[in-house]
Amino acid sequence: MNFFRNLLQTSAKKDAVFFSNLRKITSLKSVNREIYQTAFTHRSLNLKDNDGHLINFERLEFLGDSMLGIVVSNFLYGKFPQATEGKLTRYRAKIVSRENLNHIGKKMGLINFLDLEQKVRFGSNIHGNLLEALIGAVLIDRGHKKCSYFILNKILKDYVDTDQLEHLVLSYKGSLIEWGQKTKKNLLIKTHRDNGLDPKINYITHIYLNDKQIVKARGASKKKSEEKAAKRAFSAMNIKSRVHG
């Protein structure tokens, strides 16, 4: 009997810590607690309800993604009354990009809310996925108005400098290519596998300007190698732009 009593007490304490920490992030009281637990349930647990339907955050992620897009669009429409449709679209894309959502979700520490029976190796997208799932859970639990409050005051206000959106670049490589096209520079990015001494470094990228190498960088993946090299190129050529990092 004492074993089961202690087990229930441990579970209750764990839940109390979970929702206390969650409230610090959302500034909202959790009413439907089950929906938040679903928001942080990974598919690797293979949980199912009584009807055999999978329980994980993926459906909430879909809902949160839609809600985020609507709230951000409405916010930008009001903040930039003179902006064209094209500029508003670019601003929204920067805010809701996978890289930016991953950055925000990681800063929030959302991965710490996951309850896993065994260690799972996640890609970087897990941070953004959990953020969208949390938004979806808030929408279901507290409704459109409270969810809008959460997005505007706890995400955009705290993690997005909307006054610098014009200069915010999420990809060094993409921005570097755009710069080369605008300035009509002969820019070349070459990446190939690198079988050096460090097994964690698999690629090397060389960047050339007018057939002259200006920088090189190594990385664990092709993307990381190219981004690292492009970042060095930005610095080497003193290109004026602010990149999210």
Total number of domains constituting the chain: 2
pLDDT in tens, 175-217: 888 888 888 888 999 998 887 666 677 899 999 998 899 999 9
pLDDT of residue 11: 61
58: nearest Cα among 34, 41, 36:
41
- pLDDT at residue 65 is higher than 60: yes
pLDDT in tens, 143-184: 999 999 999 999 999 999 988 888 776 678 888 888 888 888
25: nearest Cα among 13, 40, 10, 11:
40
User: From CA 153, how far away is CA 75, in angstroms rounded?
Assistant: 11
**In this structure, are 152 and 227 located in the same domain?**
no
Which of 114, 130, 161 terminates a domain? The answer is 161
pLDDT of residue 136: 98
**In this structure, are 91 and 183 located in the same domain?**
no
Its domain, for residue 191, covers 172-243
Helix (H, G, I), strand (E, B) or coil at 110: helix
CB 56 within 8 A of CB 45: yes
pLDDT of residue 3: 38
More confident residue, 77 or 117: 77
- pLDDT at residue 2 is higher than 50: no
pLDDT band at 135 (very low <50, low <70, confident <90, very high): very high
Catalytic residue ranges: 65, 132
**In this structure, are 44 and 126 located in the same domain?**
yes
